[in-house]
C-alpha cells in the first residue's frame, strides 16, 4: 500500500466527501457570524472589554473541537458564565476574573476525571424537556431588547429574514438559509443606506490575535480564597450546561458521545482560554442548534472553523462584519428558538396522556430557568422535584397484608414493595402489636430493603413485639436485602 493510500485509510470518511466539507465550512461561517454579537453582549454582562468575550469564544471553540467529547457542539463565551463571574470582575478586576477562569478549568478537569458525567443518568426526561423548552424561551427573550425602541425598518427586516429561512431551503439546501438571510439583509441595509442597529454598535472588534500570558494577580492564598468560590460555581454551571447540551445533540443526531471526555475537554478549553486572557465559557445551546439542527453539521470541523472564522471575520473583515444589521442575527436566533422548543411536549394530546407529576417537573424546570436565567438552577430544582415525586409514588407501593393461621398461634405479615426511607416510616404503624398472637412472621419475599431506615424500622417492629413477650421471624429476604439487614440490624438502636 502506498503512503498516500495508507494516509487516506487513516482519515475519517467525511474528509473525502466534498458535500460534508461544504456543509461543515458553511455551518462554521454561520455560527461565527452569530457568535460575534453574542460574545460582545456577554462581555458587557461580565463587565469586560468586547475583545475578552470574542477571544474566549475563539479559544473555546478551537480547543474543544480537538479535546471535546461531543462532535459538532459549539463552546464559547456564554451568558451563564458571564453572570457567575461578573461580581468577581466588578469587585476585583480582570486579573482575578482570568485567574478564576483558569482555576475553573482545573476544577472541571478534576470533576471530569472523578466521573461527574455519570450523574447525567439521574436527570429525568421531563427535566430534559423542560431544559430544552426553557432554553428556547431564553433564546427568544434575549432577542426582545433588539426589537424594542428601534427604528421601524428593523421589523420588516426581521420578518424578511424569517421568510428567507423558511422558504429558501425549498429552493436549495446547498447554502445554509441563515447565511443567505444574513448576506441579503446586509446588502439591502448597506445598499439602501437604511439606518438600523448593526453589529458594530455592540462594540469594537479586536484587530489582532490574543497573546498568551499569566493573569496579573498576586499568587497568594488570599487570591486563591477570593477566586475559588467563583471558579467552582463556574465549573459546575459550565459542566451542567455542556453535558445537557451534549445529551441533547446525542438525541438529535442519534449518536453517542463521551461525556467524561467532554467534561475534561471543557476544563482544558477554559484553562487555555484563561491563559489567553478570555472570560471562559461552556457549550452554547443556541449556537449548537444553529450548527447541528439548522446547518446540518456533524463533525469537529464545523466547531473548529466557527472559532477560526470568528477571528478572521473580526481581524480581516471587521468593517464588513460591523455593517451586518442586528435584525439579521435576531431573525436567525428567533428561528433557532422556534426549532429548539419541543412543541410536541405541550400538545393537548401529550398533556392528556402525561402523568401530572411529569408535567409539574417540566413546568418547574422551565419556570426556574426563566426566572433565574440560569439553566443549572432549573436542572437541579427540576431533578430534585422529580426525585421527590418518584419517592412519594414508590413509597405508596409498599403494602402490608396480614394472614392469621387457622389455629390462631401465628400471624404472617406479607410486605410487598420497595422499602426505603419514604416507605419504611409508615411500616411500623401497620402491625397489631397488642392483638397479635405470640408468633409473628414477616414475609419479605416480595419486598426489597434499600437503606438503613428500613432496617431501623424492622428493628423497631421486633422491639415492640419483644416488649410484649412475642417473637418475630423475618423470612424471604433476597440476597442484597439479607446482606444489608445482617450488616445493620441491631446497630441502629440510637436512631429510634
Q: How far apart are CA 133 and CA 285, in angstroms?
A: 12
Q: Kindly report the backbone phi and psi dihedral angles of residue 203, in degrees, each rounded to the nearest multiple of 5, phi listed first.
A: 155, 165
- Report pTM: 0.76
Pairing of the two strands 399-404 and 282-283: unpaired
Q: Which helix (H) or strand (E) holds 458?
A: helix 452-466
The angle, 0 to 180 degrees and rounded to 10, between the axes of the packed helices 154-171 and 326-340 is 60
Q: Distance from CA of residue 288 to its chain's centroid?
A: 12
With beta carbons less than 8 A apart as the criterion, state whether 474 and 485 touch.
yes
The CA dihedral of 38, 39, 41, 45, to the nearest 10 degrees, is 130
How confident is the prediction along the chain (496 residues), in pLDDT tens digits per residue?
A: 555 555 455 556 556 788 888 999 999 999 998 898 888 878 877 888 889 999 999 999 999 999 999 999 999 998 888 878 888 998 999 999 999 999 999 999 999 999 888 887 788 889 888 988 987 888 888 889 889 999 999 999 999 999 999 999 898 877 888 888 999 999 999 999 999 999 888 888 888 888 999 999 999 999 999 999 999 989 988 998 899 899 989 999 999 999 999 999 999 999 999 999 999 999 998 899 889 988 889 999 999 999 999 999 999 998 888 899 999 988 988 887 888 788 999 999 989 988 899 999 999 999 998 898 777 788 889 999 999 988 888 877 788 999 988 888 899 999 999 998 888 878 888 999 999 999 999 999 999 999 999 999 999 999 999 999 999 999 999 999 999 999 988 876 544 4
Pairing of the two strands 410-419 and 399-404: antiparallel
Integer Rg of the chain from CA: 29
**Burial annotation 99-119 (CB, 10 A radius, 16+ → b, else e):** bbbbbbbbbbbebbeeebbee
Closest CA to 41 of 144, 159, 178, 195: 144
Q: Which residue has the cell 475559588?
A: 228
Partners of residue 475 on adjacent β-strands:
443
With beta carbons less than 8 A apart as the criterion, state whether 263 and 117 touch.
yes
Closest CA to 63 of 275, 298, 322, 293: 275
First-to-last alpha carbon distance for the chain, in angstroms, is 76
With beta carbons less than 8 A apart as the criterion, state whether 439 and 407 touch.
no
Q: How many CA atoms lie within 13 A of 474 on its CB side?
A: 20
The set of cell numbers assigned to 329 is: 442575527
Amino acid at each position: 500500500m502506498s503512503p498516500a493510500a495508507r494516509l487516506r485509510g487513516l482519515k475519517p470518511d467525511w474528509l473525502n466527501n466534498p458535500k460534508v466539507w461544504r456543509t461543515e465550512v458553511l455551518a462554521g461561517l454561520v455560527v461565527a457570524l452569530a457568535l460575534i454579537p453574542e460574545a460582545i453582549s456577554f462581555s458587557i454582562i461580565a463587565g469586560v472589554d468586547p475583545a475578552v468575550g470574542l477571544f474566549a469564544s475563539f479559544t473555546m471553540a478551537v480547543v474543544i473541537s480537538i479535546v471535546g467529547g461531543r462532535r459538532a457542539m459549539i463552546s464559547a463565551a456564554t451568558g451563564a458564565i458571564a453572570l457567575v463571574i461578573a461580581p468577581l470582575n466588578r469587585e476585583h478586576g480582570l486579573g482575578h476574573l482570568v485567574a478564576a477562569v483558569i482555576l475553573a478549568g482545573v476544577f472541571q478537569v478534576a470533576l471530569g476525571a472523578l466521573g461527574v458525567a455519570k450523574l447525567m443518568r439521574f436527570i429525568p426526561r421531563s427535566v430534559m424537556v423542560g431544559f430544552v423548552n426553557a432554553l428556547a424561551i431564553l433564546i427568544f427573550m434575549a432577542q426582545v431588547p433588539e426589537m424594542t425602541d428601534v427604528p421601524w425598518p428593523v421589523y420588516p427586516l426581521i420578518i424578511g429574514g424569517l421568510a428567507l429561512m423558511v422558504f429558501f431551503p425549498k429552493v436549495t439546501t446547498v447554502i445554509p438559509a441563515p447565511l443567505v438571510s444574513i448576506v441579503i439583509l446586509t446588502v439591502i441595509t448597506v445598499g439602501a443606506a437604511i439606518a438600523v442597529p448593526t453589529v458594530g454598535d455592540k462594540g469594537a472588534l479586536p484587530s489582532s490575535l490574543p497573546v498568551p500570558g499569566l493573569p496579573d494577580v498576586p499568587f497568594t492564598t488570599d487570591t486563591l480564597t477570593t477566586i475559588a468560590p467563583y471558579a467552582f460555581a463556574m465549573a459546575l454551571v459550565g459542566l451542567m450546561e455542556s453535558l445537557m447540551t451534549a445529551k441533547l445533540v446525542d438525541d438529535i443526531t442519534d449518536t453517542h458521545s463521551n461525556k467524561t471526555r467532554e467534561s475534561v475537554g471543557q476544563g482544558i478549553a477554559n484553562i487555555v482560554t484563561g491563559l489567553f486572557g478570555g472570560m471562559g465559557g461552556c457549550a452554547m445551546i443556541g449556537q449548537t442548534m444553529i450548527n447541528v439542527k439548522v446547518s446540518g453539521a456533524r463533525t469537529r470541523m464545523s466547531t473548529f472553523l466557527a472559532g477560526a472564522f470568528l477571528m478572521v471575520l473580526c481581524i480581516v473583515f471587521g468593517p464588513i462584519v460591523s455593517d451586518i444589521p442586528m435584525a439579521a442575527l435576531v431573525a436567525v436566533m428567533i428561528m433557532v428558538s422556534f426549532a429548539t422548543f419541543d412543541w410536541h411536549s405541550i400538545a393537548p394530546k401529550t398533556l392528556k396522556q402525561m402523568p401530572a407529576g411529569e408535567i409539574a417537573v417540566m413546568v418547574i424546570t422551565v419556570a426556574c430557568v426563566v426566572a433565574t436565567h440560569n439553566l443549572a438552577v432549573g436542572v437541579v430544582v427540576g431533578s430534585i422535584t422529580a426525585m421527590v415525586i418518584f419517592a412519594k409514588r414508590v413509597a405508596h407501593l409498599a403494602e402490608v397484608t396480614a394472614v392469621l393461621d387457622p389455629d390462631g398461634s401465628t400471624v404472617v405479615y406479607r410486605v410487598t414493595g420497595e422499602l426505603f426511607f419514604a416507605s419504611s416510616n409508615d411500616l411500623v404503624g401497620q402491625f397489631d402489636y397488642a392483638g397479635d398472637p405470640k408468633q409473628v412472621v414477616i414475609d419479605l419475599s416480595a419486598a426489597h430493603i434499600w437503606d438503613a431506615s428500613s432496617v431501623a424500622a424492622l428493628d423497631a417492629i421486633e422491639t415492640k413485639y419483644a416488649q410484649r413477650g412475642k417473637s418475630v421471624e423475618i423470612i424471604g429476604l433476597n440476597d442484597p436485602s439479607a446482606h444489608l439487614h445482617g450488616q445493620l440490624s441491631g446497630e441502629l438502636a440510637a436512631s429510634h
